[in-house]
Structure 1
Amino acid sequence: MNMLRTENITMKFGGVTAVKDFSLNIDKGEIVALIGPNGAGKTTVFNMITGVYKPTSGKIFLKDKDITGYRPDKITSFGIARTFQNIRLFKELSVLDNVLIANHLRIKSNFIEAIVRLPKYNREEREMHEKSIELIKRVGLLDVIHEKSSSLPYGKQRRLEIARALATNPSILLLDEPAAGMNPKETEDLTEFIKEIRDEFDLTIFMIEHHMQVVMGISDRIYVLDYGVTIAEGNPNEIQNNPKVIEAYLGVSEDA
């Protein structure tokens, strides 16, 4: 089953083309990586998919539904969740409160029902609280549930950010450099964590990552961007041995 598809999406800023004709297909349950040198256009691709930018041209489909140009909150409600390269937690709030905030997306009670605390809202709030605690337990953060997010080690902060994304009940999760700033042990733990949540939460995962050990260790397929243009697509072994990829990363051609 196809989960996410883009057809020739292009993003121009004035006279600069950041991404040109990017086409992507991700099937249910896959872990797919997007790699490339700094400035290649990777985050721009994420921003188009999640509604931060509306593509200059091209189309984006989630399970065959055209989601091109929808607002970020609407796209999240369709089932796409995202994390960021720079962790964006509510630093003064607890682990539990960070996850509770994300859960509010799924509340169906209206403003009046919430203000006067009608039984429907009270029931939903109770269910949301129970769901948040269960999610925190499943991602291994129950022991720090009442601690401020800013006090957590970096690896646990990243895990909390992913848990907050999972609270929106996504079908596809976009991870923007999840291993950034991590030490080798944290990176190893994160790699296993990503595979575990893919299986446990029945997710499809699309990630940007510079850490090649992570990319090659868990990706089913990899897309490579350079100056906004797709220069390669294939499995990890094919990408590792692709001359265009080697040139893009090392700055030399195979004939040099």
Structure 2
Amino acid sequence: MAFPLSLDEPAQVLITGASRGIGAALVQQLLALPEVAGVHAVARNWPQTDATDERLCRYAVDLTDPAQLAEMAQQLQQQTERLHLVINCAGFLHQPDGQQPEKSLQQIELAALEHSFRINAFAPILLAQALLPLLRGKHRSSFASLSARVGSMGDNHLGGWYAYRASKAAQNMLLRTFAIEWHRLNRNGCCLLLHPGTTDTGLSKPFQARVPEGKLFTPDYVAERLLAVIAEHGPEDSGQFYAWDGQPVPW
């Protein structure tokens, strides 16, 4: 596997949600590529273990805190002039002993809506805002964020899951709007919304019983597919929504 973008310089990459699941798999796959000079891995918390690769730099950041994002961006600018690939893998669906996806209108709670929106919608656009100095210019760059097919209005035939659906739909609009502005600041930039499919992680664990055979993917497989989708799309596709298999997802 080659790095998904064609560059004339070593690649600098940032991955959020990087301590587990798809994010952790992306970190490992990108570190395996000789074209990658640095992987900036972001998570809310990190285990007390040492990084095993000198190209890996870890950041403990709450993506919903603008002050922490600004501090991270300042540290990044001291290490590199630009970012070539950003993939946001942070997201929220449920808490084991707390918030669960709503099955009916009566289960909606304001606090649950606010929590979902903070992580699924607000964090990605705040991340883009903080990283903009490293994304603007003339260099080839891709900014991808994990959305979800259930956030598609055109694909919503079952209802339910109000907070998760709406927060992912809000992320789609925020990042599509960012894509339009970013194009004026870097015509070689590409912003993508990506549906990873149902992945065998803690986020999907309680909901895997109804997943059709062959449609529950490993984090390693999903990471590989997401990088392939990013590789297939350039600036002319910026602001679009694609699934893990490269097929467009309706808004």
TM-score when normalising by structure 1: 0.33
- Rg larger in structure: 1
Higher relative contact order (CA 8 A, sep 6+): 1
